[in-house]
Amino acid sequence: MDTHTAHALIRFGLGRRGAEDPPHDPQAWLAGQLDGPDPALAVPCHTGTEGLEAIRTFRQTPLPERKPETNPMRAIFRADTAATMDGIVASQAPFRERLAWFWANHFTVSLHAGECAALVHAFLREAIRPHVTGRFADMLLAVMRHPAMLLYLDNAQSTGPNSPLGLKQRRGLNENLARECLELHTLSPAAGYTQADVTEFAKVITGWSIVLQRNPPGFIFRTESHEPGAKTVMGRTYPPGEQGGIQALAWLADHPATHRHLAAKLVRHFVADDPPPALVRRIEGVLRDTHGDLKAASLELIRLPEAWQPLAKLRSPADYVVAVMRALDLPDGNRPAAQNVMATLGQPLFNAPLPNGWPDTAADWSGPEAILRRVDWTYAVSARAGRLDPGAIARDSLGPLLPDATLAQIGRAGSKREAFTLLLASPEFQRR
């Protein structure tokens, strides 16, 4: 395995799995993962419809009978999490997997909204994965209409003050989804929008809601909740009705500020904590020229010469846990539950504290306590390594990125467990 191959497996992937055959042509291997449908969609999981049915069941359950062990929403989350984690550890398309989770973090939905437990995995499968190699505008529309996002950011109950329902019940506007769409999902504050634009955009998407008392339950545009009349957002006027929201999202998705914002986040994630402006401009140019083609932007990422330089990013807890699982390639019965370890290390699955998702810089994950927790966990998981050879695992997982000094320390360790701890806690293994 040469350095180019090691970078493909680690910087753009999830780490080598055991002693699997490395790709002969790293760039072609990465590019090929963007062809065809996402193989992770073959992993059985609950649909958004089934999640909404679980929410309906829970809401209809009398309060005294609501118990954690019989909560249908949590049951869906547990089952889908186990299947998803197994799929990630075994993934044969790790670059595509990385992209899917990048976009899921960009469009964060979280268990902080409790009912989202029934929907977060369906959100990843239905709103994110089908569009990772498509147009950003299509992903944005799918996200904004998905029940998980509508519940998480409270748009399901947002009501136009002058709509029939608003006038009758004096229910009001909720600006959460509109604000986060402008600030986090598309333009960023650098575009110069105002609070008035946020309010008007919130009116544009009133009526974008969900219906549970229908078979099947799902997205609905509620005309009785929609603010009547045309609305103006950043100087552009949109007609009333659902079509106004669709037009607004299409404009936001293809705005130059959106291209710049997305490019900076992609370069930060895959190249450097402080994104080099020249690289951002290259990815921004691809998004501009292709009107938001995410496959084209992803292919440009792997063409950046700087993306093949020495690894400088720190693996987040989630990345780190998956990389350890893949390196050791433990049998199912001897593998710790990845989601539990992620929570222990500070990044519980689908549970980001705020809508801006998990941070993507070393400074956010490299505090002394956080690193100590990693070392403690690596010592614990090393006890499961059994007959594995730590030197062989070190060479297989890092290849030419493994310094002689680190390999020598592993060889001098007092036990296999200590040797594996030295490897998995080493700076080289924690970088991507």
Q: Is the pLDDT of residue 331 over 90?
A: no
Domain presence at residue 363:
yes
From the list 158, 147, 121, 128, the residue with the least C-alpha distance to 214 is: 147
Mean pLDDT of all residues belonging to the chain: 96
Residue with tokens 């998981």: 381
Give the β-pairing of 218-221 and 231-233: unpaired
Q: What percent of the chain has pLDDT over 90?
A: 95
pLDDT tens column, 58-109 = 999 998 889 888 999 999 999 999 999 999 999 999 999 999 999 999 999 9
Q: What is the pLDDT of residue 69?
A: 87
Residue 236 lies in a domain: yes
pLDDT digits (tens, 9 = 90+) for 202-218: 999 999 999 999 999 99
pLDDT for res 104 = 98
Sign of CA dihedral 339, 366, 268, 396: negative
Q: Dihedral sign, CA of 179, 183, 187, 191? A: positive
Q: Is residue 365 part of a domain?
A: yes
Q: How far apart are CA 429 and CA 422, in angstroms?
A: 10
312, part of any domain: no
Contact 349, 318 (CB under 8 A): yes
Return the H-helix or E-strand segment holding 127.
Answer: none
Q: What is the pLDDT of residue 321?
A: 97
Does residue 60 fall inside a structural domain? no
Query: Which secondary structure element, helix H or strand E, spans residue 242, and what is its range?
Result: helix 242-253
Answer with the one of 204, 224, 253 that is the final residue of a domain: 253
Tell me whether residue 65 is in a domain. no
Provide the terminal-to-terminal Cα distance of the chain, rounded to the nearest Å. Answer: 16
Task: Give the residue from 198, 226, 253 where a domain finishes.
Answer: 253
Whole-number pLDDT of residue 358: 98
Residue 333 clears pLDDT 90, i.e. is over it: no
pLDDT of residue 413: 94
Give residue 170's pLDDT: 84
Mean pLDDT of 123-139: 98
Element (H, E) at 208: strand 208-211
- Per-residue model confidence (pLDDT) at position 334: 85
Specify if 398 maps to a domain: yes
**Co-location of 321 and 411 in the same domain:** yes
Q: Are 236 and 330 in the same domain?
A: no
Under 8 Å between Cβ of 111 and 224: no
- What domain count does the chain have? 2
Q: What's the farthest any 2 CA atoms get from each other in the chain?
A: 77
- The average pLDDT across 269-281 equals 97
Question: Rounded distance, CA 432 to CA 427, Å?
Answer: 10
Same structural domain, 245 and 337: no
Residue 393 has pLDDT above 90, yes or no: yes
Distance of CA 338 to the CA centre of its chain: 16
The answer to whether residue 129 is domain-embedded is: no
Instruction: Kindly state the average pLDDT of the residues 118-146.
Output: 98
Same domain? 325 vs 228: no
Which domain does 232 fall in, by range? 153-253
Three-state secondary structure call for residue 232:
strand
Residues 6+ positions from 55 with CB-CB distance below 8 Å: 73, 115, 118, 119, 212
Q: What span, in angstroms and rounded, lies between the C-alpha atoms of 335 and 347?
A: 19
407: pLDDT strictly greater than 90: yes
Asked if the bond preceding 62 is cis, omega within 30° of 0, the reply is no
pTM of the predicted structure, to 2 decimals = 0.96
| Per-residue tokens: 111 | 């268990």
Residue 340 shares a structural domain with residue 412:
yes
Summarize pLDDT for 167-182 with one digit per residue, the tens: 999 889 999 999 999 9
